């Protein structure tokens, strides 16, 4: 069992449109089930960061508080996870996650079927 950070576009390319961001989150979440079925524990940084940001009275995605919560959340998760699954798409944050994972010697997978135990549908 691996604790796997799913990294990919969330805010990038959305112009902070909440509907586009929600669609991006759904794309990230779509791979959580196959990972879970394979015996892994998936996590997405936004699952952790969004409630923290809201509890800190975040007002608008992309506000000053956003940067104080979202990137540090990913950095803290990268101190705990066993691997990263980098999904396709332009994303400054996901690229930053990959660089940090590589620097820490954490495996990075670029396709779902590269993750041990994941069965193709």
Provide the CATH topology of domain 3-114: Rossmann fold (3.40.50)
pTM for this entry: 0.94
Query: From start to end of the chain, where are the E strands?
Result: 3-7, 41-44, 83-86, 108-109
| pLDDT of amino acid 10 | 95
pLDDT band at 120 (very low <50, low <70, confident <90, very high): confident
| pLDDT of amino acid 60 | 86
Mean pLDDT of 74-80: 96
pLDDT in tens, 1-18: 999 999 999 999 999 898
| pLDDT of amino acid 77 | 97
H or E, element range at 99? helix 92-103
Domain range list for the chain: 3-114
Closest by CA position to 47, among listed 90, 86, 6:
6
pLDDT band at 55 (very low <50, low <70, confident <90, very high): very high
């Amino acid at each position: 069992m691996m604790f796997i950070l799913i990294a990919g576009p969330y805010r990038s390319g959305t112009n902070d449109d909440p509907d586009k961001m929600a669609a991006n989150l759904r794309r990230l979440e779509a791979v959580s089930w196959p990972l879970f079925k394979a015996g892994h524990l998936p996590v997405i940084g936004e699952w952790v960061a969004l409630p923290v940001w809201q509890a800190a009275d975040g007002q608008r995605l992309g506000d000053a508080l956003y940067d104080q919560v979202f990137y540090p959340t990913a950095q803290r998760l990268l101190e705990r996870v066993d691997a990263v699954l980098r999904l396709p798409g332009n994303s400054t944050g996901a690229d930053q996650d990959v660089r940090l994972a590589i620097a820490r010697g954490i495996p990075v997978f670029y396709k779902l079927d590269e993750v041990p135990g994941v069965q193709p549908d």
